[in-house]
Amino acid sequence: MNQVRSTSFRQRRLLIALPVLALLLILGWYLNEQFSLEQIAAQEDRLRDYIALNPGTAFAGGFAIYLVLAFIPGTGGKAVVVGWFFGFFEALLIVSIGLSIAAMGIFWLSRYLLRDSIERRYPNVVEVMNRHLEEEGVFYLLFLRMAHAPYSIVNPVSGASRVQPWTFFWTTFVGLMPANMIWIYVGLRLPSLRELAESGPAAFIDLPLFITLVFCGLFPLIVRWLNKKWQAYTSYTPKDDDDVLFS
């Protein structure tokens, strides 16, 4: 039964992905025919000038857009774009506060409107969450955030668990901070469209960028490895369902 459901889910994803891919190809062809990279770079220059001349308005607008996108699953890479436009510290504020508010929104929605539904759909996950909260407290929530456990599972399941709202908020804010900083730095190292128009693909040749991208992939693995070392040090006996929030 599970295999049939898994196959059906993959088929539905494929049916969704193919039209989206086709639409992106058509859009890419249209943009290539209608606009040159130089023209798009000029638009980017004007946008950057506007941000520099109107920092308050630009920050508020960027935050509002980011907050809306933070509620939409599958919109990863937002921190890279924000870092590319706003710089490190402003982007860190936008991303960290925006993600935390969006997570709290899902948390409250889950706790007061969808709790019964989530408990029926993810009974094992809610049980694992409550067990770890009793045994490890806030450290477990921090681990989930630093280890990049899926937001689409952690946020609603936390709402259905026994975790306190303030605890969920500050562990989300702090736990996501390292990854936010890494992705924003990636955005800072990416070339502008003006640089890309002038230098071509060579603009992407940047050693700090490559090192940061590698670290992006390694960071959650390092966190999980450290967690296992800590469990061994504290004589914790892993359960078979401990990794259910990462599946």
Task: Give pLDDT tens digits for 99-138.
Answer: 999 999 999 999 988 888 888 888 888 888 888 888 888 8
Pair 29, 72 in one domain = no
Domain that holds residue 115: 41-246
Q: Residue 232: pLDDT above 70? A: no
What is the DSSP code string of the chain? -HHHHHHHHHHHHHHHHHHHHHHHHHHHHHHHHH--HHHHHHHHHHHHHHHHH-HHHHHHHHHHHHHHHHTSTT-TTHHHHHHHHH-HHHHHHHHHHHHHHHHHHHHHHHHHTSHHHHHHHSHHHHHHHHHHHHHHTHHHHHHHHHTT--HHHHHHHHHHSS--HHHHHHHHHHHHHHHHHHHHHHHHHSPPHHHHHHHGGGGG--HHHHHHHHHHHHHHHHHHHHHHHHHHHTT----TTTTGGG-
Pair 19, 93 in one domain = no
Pair 113, 231 in one domain = yes
Pair 145, 176 in one domain = yes
- Residues 50-91 have pLDDT tens digits of 888 998 999 999 999 999 988 876 656 788 889 888 989 999
Pair 186, 98 in one domain = yes
Pair 108, 133 in one domain = yes
Pair 177, 113 in one domain = yes
Q: Does the pTM exceed 0.85? A: no
Pair 61, 154 in one domain = yes
Pair 142, 57 in one domain = yes
Pair 153, 224 in one domain = yes
Domain count, the chain: 2
Pair 3, 96 in one domain = no
Pair 121, 205 in one domain = yes
pLDDT (0 to 100) of residue 2: 43
